Amino acid sequence: MNDSDKELVSAIKEAFRDSFKESFKEAFQESFKEAFKESFKEAIAPLEAKIGNIEADIRELKKDVAVLKSDVAVLKSDVAVLKSDVAGLKSDMAEVKYRLENVEEDIHIIRLDIENNVKYGIQALRDGDHLLITNVENIRKTLDDHGSTIIALDTLHKIQARQAK
């Protein structure tokens, strides 16, 4: 065998070796893929199912969070309304207290007027009928003048009694 034949044989061997390597590599990869494909599918299937469940749980939690956010918004609105109502009630109570104080003052004045008129009436009984008639008229006039105040006081006391319940 001469040198050129040796070179040719060497080149053929090299080409055959490279071709065999590529063929073997592809065949090995294909058979490896096929051999472990089912095993990987079996191993991955439960994980994919868990991932699907987790994704469903996440979607459900997002819905729950959205509902909770909506509930929080409604509650914030309700709290704002209640704060406004409380402020209004405080204002109303201050007004009622102010009116009640005025009515009580009016009652005190009426009581003093009545006491004075009764004193004058008693004195009139002692002094005579003429003064009695004048004092009775004064008492009537006082009651007429302050009658609406007495009714208002009675109404305020009823309102307070209802609020106390």
For the chain, give the DSSP string: --HHHHHHHHHHHHHHHHHHHHHHHHHHHHHHHHHHHHHHHHHHHHHHHHHHHHHHHHHHHHHHHHHHHHHHHHHHHHHHHHHHHHHHHHHHHHHHHHHHHHHHHHHHHHHHHHHHHHHHHHHHHHH-HHHHHHHHHHHHHHHHHHHHHHHHHHHHHHHHHHHH-
The pLDDT score that the predictor gives to residue 70 is: 95
Where is pLDDT greater, at 157 or 116? 116
The pLDDT score that the predictor gives to residue 4 is: 72
Tokens 């009928």 — which residue?
A: 129
For residues 41-67, average pLDDT: 87
Q: What percent of the chain has pLDDT over 70?
A: 56
pTM metric for this prediction: 0.40
Highest mean pLDDT among 40-44, 117-121, 138-142: 117-121
Please, are residues 115 and 135 in contact by the beta-carbon 8 Å criterion? no
The pLDDT score that the predictor gives to residue 19 is: 66
Using one digit for the tens of pLDDT, what is the confidence trace for 121-157? Answer: 677 666 655 555 666 566 666 666 665 666 656 666 6
The pLDDT score that the predictor gives to residue 85 is: 92
